[in-house]
């Protein structure tokens, strides 16, 4: 897959971010979320900060490290990045059908039932056609298959998987149309996003 030309120097995660923080991985993630707004990131703080060089990011964190959140917000503001952080407990409310793209991390590392509950809690917050992008540090075909099955069980459509580099898989799918969303998920109300 060829991604749109990025406007800033190549992105790179922090030193200990591993394969997920590689330029190839981050460029692929940003390319899949390009053009969707708002882009919500659920994952490590560094991921949201790094992606904010290319995307308008709303970072949702359940962090007790308020100092790190303040530093990240201050650095992003100083650099002129479109980066907002919402700190919450285990649940952060998102309005139904309000998110253009959501980037999540480590679905493959969850027990299958926990992964399914988490994805099912996230999908109602996507707009019809909104993208869910799972970034996983794995190359295990069985783990990749489990993430795909979880996405399909949550009524996501247009599923694709790619490996932008060894040891990283991106699973990308779209929310179905509003009729399917209404049939598959409970009555509209604020969706509560829980960390697994």
Q: Pick from 38, 51, 61: which is nearest to 10 by CA? A: 51
Whether 75 maps to a domain, the answer reads: yes
Q: For the chain, what percent of residues have pLDDT higher than 70?
A: 82
Whether 151 maps to a domain, the answer reads: yes
Whether 51 maps to a domain, the answer reads: yes
pLDDT of 39-77, one tens digit each?
Answer: 999 988 889 888 988 888 888 887 666 787 888 888 878
What pTM was computed for the model?
0.85
- Number of compact structural domains in the chain: 1
Whether 66 maps to a domain, the answer reads: yes
pLDDT of 96-152, one tens digit each?
Answer: 899 999 999 999 999 999 999 999 999 999 999 999 999 999 999 999 999 999 999
Provide the pLDDT for residue 67: 81
Range of the structural domain that residue 110 is part of: 15-194
Whether 7 maps to a domain, the answer reads: no
Whether 4 maps to a domain, the answer reads: no
How many angstroms from the chain centroid is the CA of residue 5? 21
Q: Pick from 33, 28, 57, 30: which is nearest to 45 by CA? A: 57
Give yes or no for a contact between 26 and 44, defined as CB atoms under 8 angstroms apart.
Answer: no
**Rounded Cα gap, residues 69 and 105, in angstroms:** 18
Q: For the chain, what percent of residues have pLDDT higher than 90?
A: 50
Q: What share of the chain is helix, strand, coil (3-state, %, to 5)?
A: 35, 30, 35
**Rounded Cα gap, residues 169 and 191, in angstroms:** 27
CATH number at residue 43: 3.40.50.150
Q: Pick from 171, 166, 170: which is nearest to 149 by CA? A: 171
Find residue 105's DSSP bridge partners: 135
Whether 21 maps to a domain, the answer reads: yes
Whether 5 maps to a domain, the answer reads: no
């Amino acid at each position: 897959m060829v991604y749109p030309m990025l406007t800033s120097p190549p992105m790179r995660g922090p030193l200990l971010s591993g394969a997920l923080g590689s330029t190839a991985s981050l460029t692929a993630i940003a390319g899949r979320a390009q053009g969707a707004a708002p882009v919500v990131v659920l994952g490590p703080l560094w991921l949201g900060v790094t992606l904010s060089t290319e995307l308008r990011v709303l970072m949702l964190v359940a962090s007790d490290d308020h100092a790190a959140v303040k530093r990240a917000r201050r650095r992003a503001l100083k650099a002129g990045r479109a980066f907002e952080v919402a700190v919450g407990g285990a649940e952060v409310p998102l309005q139904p059908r309000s998110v253009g793209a959501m980037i999540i991390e480590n679905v493959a590392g969850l027990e299958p039932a926990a992964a399914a509950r988490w994805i099912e809690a996230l999908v109602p917050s996507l707009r019809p056609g909104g993208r869910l992008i799972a970034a996983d540090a794995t190359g295990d075909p069985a783990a990749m298959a489990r993430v795909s099955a979880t996405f399909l069980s949550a009524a996501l459509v247009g599923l694709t998987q790619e490996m932008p580099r060894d040891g990283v898989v991106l699973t990308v799918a779209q929310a179905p149309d509003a009729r399917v969303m209404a049939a598959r998920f409970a009555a509209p109300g604020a969706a509560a996003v829980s960390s697994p």
